[in-house]
Structure 1
Amino acid sequence: MPVVRFVIVAFPKSHVRINTNIVRYGVPLTIVFPICFTFYLIPALGVCKQRAAPYPFGAIWIYYINSAFGLRNSFFHLYNLIFWMTVSVIANLLLFYQVRRARSKLIRAQTSGASKKAHTSITITTLAMIAFYVTNGSFLLMYIFYYGTTSYFSYAEIMRPFGNDLQTCVVTWVFYLTHPAFQQRTTSSDLIFSTSSSFRRRAENSVF
């Protein structure tokens, strides 16, 4: 999202062509991209392991052994989070810089209220995405540092799946609730009725 916004501001004459190519080649990559984080699990074997302290006796969890090259998915997910969070922050910084440069050249009347609301909505959505990047990264670091120890920080990995679900749901809801494209238009029947009533009163006053 911030990359698309930056392309629109930085390349106002050719942003349609650039963003079309981004979507055209980016969507197929979303199918291939997860394979980079799961290929080593193809020869792996899922096992049921018993939890150690501080978990109570009888607590179990499902893990995997004999993965390809001995790789673990936690490091791949951590590097993925760092990469996309860095890209998002850099794109937003470049975008704000371009907007500040272009603001002095634009006529204030040309900037509509809906456009300002749309920019604010996408900015809030981007900040929510960054917040969840940081949260998921914190859970991953706790898992990496405290895995197999008796520290109570090992309980943090229980919250990680819920954090992933919240990222999918909350970011979508923030965008839906704040963007003007999804808000109800004011051209309702009440507005039409009030407008017709005002015209009727004006006509009666003009007659008298």
Structure 2
Amino acid sequence: MNNVSIQGDIRYINFEFDPFTIPVLAAFAPIIYVIPTVFIVIKIIKVYVRCLIRKKQELINPHVFSIIVLSQFLSFCYMLADYSTIRLPSTGIMTSWCASGQPSHFLKVLFMLSVYFNYTSMLFPFLLSILRLIPLYRPFNHEKLSGRIVSISTPLIFLYPFLFCFPLFPALGTCLQLKGDYHFGAIFIFYDRSWFNIKQANTLFLNVIAWFFISTVTNTMLYLKLRKLRNKRRSLKLQRAEFSLSVTTLSMLSAYITNLAFVAAFIFLPGSSAYLVALRPYGNDCDFVSVPWIFYLTHPIFKQQKVLPTEEVRQKWAAVVLMKISS
């Protein structure tokens, strides 16, 4: 992509931002689908609070539901962090400001947050499939076991990225010009002077491959087990709930494919990474947008229940109808 900082370069300091460009349109177009998705996530959280805190629902596994809500929150954080390091800088709106300063820890933190939330997003498909496997293999004590796994895995999810992000602690963030067909002034935020010169792309690449493989294996096991038990379920609603969770978990795997394509290109085909960097944010959006919409539209817990009128109400309706007929 590039390894030459723009900071201190008079050409970039004097750069004038033009709001009427394709990068600006591409950066703000996601608002069309992000805002409705945020409302869907809020609805999911409301149902989660109502059904799991106020009363227990047979269709809801509280541990699975809590992990889905947490994954959506962190996916939204990842999208915002990625927006601040690639989408927004590529429009040119930050170019003059960034070129006027020096490499800083503030810019490093922006980049580090993007990497941090990228790592957290890799863990949820595996964790969800494990939580759904437990009731199938440990039906008598699955609630206690699932609760223990969630209580242990949740803090680990937040700590896991530091195993790979710690070389960035002494690094400084810097702004670089995007190459390829990008216009002059289209930049992105990167880093320099990390510990041990460890490349984040290499560790990301290994993590994506490992977690994609593990998640595929666990989801295959889950599918085979559910296929055997399909005709033994107690109700059609439970079958629909299982189907909803299955397609929701599978939709999370799209993040692996997007990350794998971009990181592999960055390592092995650096010349093409300048073009893939424009597509990667939309691939990341698929995870944030598709998961809540699929979950909300397919799970029966979100279907509005029709409330049947009581006997007293039916009698009043009948009396009103008779009065209209007689008149």
| TM-score between the two structures when normalised by the length of structure 1 | 0.78
Matched, 1:119 2:246: no
Task: Tell me the equivalent position of 1:196.
Answer: 314
Which among 189, 204, 216 is matched to residue 62 of structure 1? 189
Deviation at 1:32, TM superposition (A): 0.7
- The residue identity in structure 2 corresponding to 1:129 is M
**1:50–1:58 CA contact under 8 A, matched in 2:** yes
Task: Tell me the equivalent position of 2:169.
Answer: 42
- 1:130-182 C-alpha deviation (Å, 9 max, x unpaired): 233212221222222232x3x4x531112223322331232122112211112
Taking the aligned partners of 1:60 and 1:131, their CA distance within structure 2 comes to: 27
Taking the aligned partners of 1:160 and 1:53, their CA distance within structure 2 comes to: 15
Taking the aligned partners of 2:205 and 2:148, their CA distance within structure 1 comes to: 28
- The residue identity in structure 2 corresponding to 1:116 is Q
- The residue identity in structure 2 corresponding to 1:174 is I
Q: 1:61 to 1:97 in 2, by over 3 A?
A: closer
**1:146–1:154 CA contact under 8 A, matched in 2:** no
Which among 137, 154, 171 is matched to residue 10 of structure 1? 137
Which among 112, 127, 144 is matched to residue 267 of structure 2? 144
1:59-208 equivalent positions in 2, closer than 5 A: 59-103=186-230, 106=232, 111-147=234-270, 149=271, 151=272, 154-187=274-307, 191-192=308-309, 196=314
- 1:91-115 C-alpha deviation (Å, 9 max, x unpaired): 12112232344457x3xxx531110
| TM-score between the two structures when normalised by the length of structure 2 | 0.52
Taking the aligned partners of 2:274 and 2:269, their CA distance within structure 1 comes to: 6
* Number of equivalent positions: 191
Instruction: Identify which of structures 1 and 2 has the higher relative contact order when contacts are C-alpha pairs closer than 8 Å and 6+ apart.
Output: 2
Deviation at 1:79, TM superposition (A): 2.4
Deviation at 1:200, TM superposition (A): 5.8
Taking the aligned partners of 2:254 and 2:175, their CA distance within structure 1 comes to: 33
Deviation at 1:42, TM superposition (A): 0.7
Deviation at 1:64, TM superposition (A): 1.1
Q: Gapped runs of 5+ residues in structure 2?
A: 1-127, 323-327
Task: Tell me the equivalent position of 2:59.
Answer: none
Taking the aligned partners of 1:65 and 1:25, their CA distance within structure 2 comes to: 34
Q: Which structure: larger Rg?
A: 1
Q: 1:137 to 1:45 in 2, by over 3 A?
A: same
Taking the aligned partners of 2:187 and 2:131, their CA distance within structure 1 comes to: 44
- The residue identity in structure 2 corresponding to 1:39 is F
Task: Tell me the equivalent position of 2:90.
Answer: none
RMSD: 2.7
